[in-house]
Amino acid sequence: MSRYFLELCYDGATFGGFQIQNNVDTIQGAVQAAMKTLYREEIELTGASRTDAGVHALQNFFHFDTDIVITQKQVYNLNAILPNTVVIKAIYEVPETAHCRFDATTRSYIYKLHTQKDPFLEGRSWYYPFPLDLNLLNQATKTLLSFTNYESFSKKNTAVNTFECSVSKAFWQVEGTHLYFHIDSNRFLRGMIRGLVGTLLQVGRGQISLEEWMDIVASHNEQRVDFSTPAYGLYLSAIQYPNFLKKID
């Protein structure tokens, strides 16, 4: 039996999340259904990074094991079966011990905002027409690199063993009327990025001070964090692995 990584991207707007659930359309459910149609047998998928309902991905991965001969042509076949909002980008043959979740070294996200109303960005970026002090915003964001415990930014009832995250990059990028929040880490907690964005924007608007921001991060109290940031502005942009991905022929 061989193991494969499946690389995909998707528009999360019409899905109830990434991981398969009863009575809800999910990314995993759509891909497993397409694979059952093509291969005429059930193939169980393991996901690399679970995105919430409404969140998009420029890159995500599944892995699966099978005795079926997998070829590059099947990427086209799967895409012909899948809805247009989900695209298989590639299939890779990997060592049998490779794990798409546990072997990921870095996960990268982008949160997209725009400051000028644009109908073509609806559902793809958050319209945020409020004035921001970008200097304060970046000062607060830079402090994230000095923290490791992100319990404040984890939603309640999250089943994790640790709130430790190793954030290696966090910054804001401005391009005209577009504003992008970039963040890289080895792992993320449920709701973490939307909580960071919502609370950082409060700093940028002068609603909370830098000192209050630092206190919120250190407080381990999620009730002080703004999780109201909409899901549709969030994109899983990349997942990095050690050099074991080999594209199938």
The residues spanned by each domain of the chain are 2-103, 106-234
pLDDT at residue 243, rounded to an integer: 85
Distance CA 60, CA 85 (A): 14
Question: Phi, psi at residue 210, to the nearest 5°?
Answer: -60, -40
The CATH classification of domain 106-234, taken from the options 3.30.950.10, 3.40.50.720, 2.60.40.10, 3.30.70.660: 3.30.70.660
For this structure, is 52 an active site residue?
A: yes
The CATH-assigned architecture of domain 2-103 is: 2-Layer Sandwich (3.30)
Per-residue pLDDT averaged across 40-47, rounded? Answer: 95
Same fold, 2-103 and 106-234: yes
Is residue 79 scored above 80 in pLDDT?
yes
Tokens encoding 137: 């915003």
pLDDT in tens, 115-136: 999 999 999 999 999 999 999 9
pTM: 0.93
Average pLDDT, whole number, for the chain?
94
> Please, what is the Cα angle at 97 between 185 and 245, to 5 degrees?
65
pLDDT at residue 246, rounded to an integer: 81
Per-residue burial over 27-44, b = 16 or more CB atoms within 10 Å of its CB, e = otherwise: bbbbbbebbeeeeeeebe
> Which candidate, 64, 66, 48, places its Cα nearest to that of 10?
48
Residue from 52, 103, 133, 215 carrying the catalytic annotation: 52
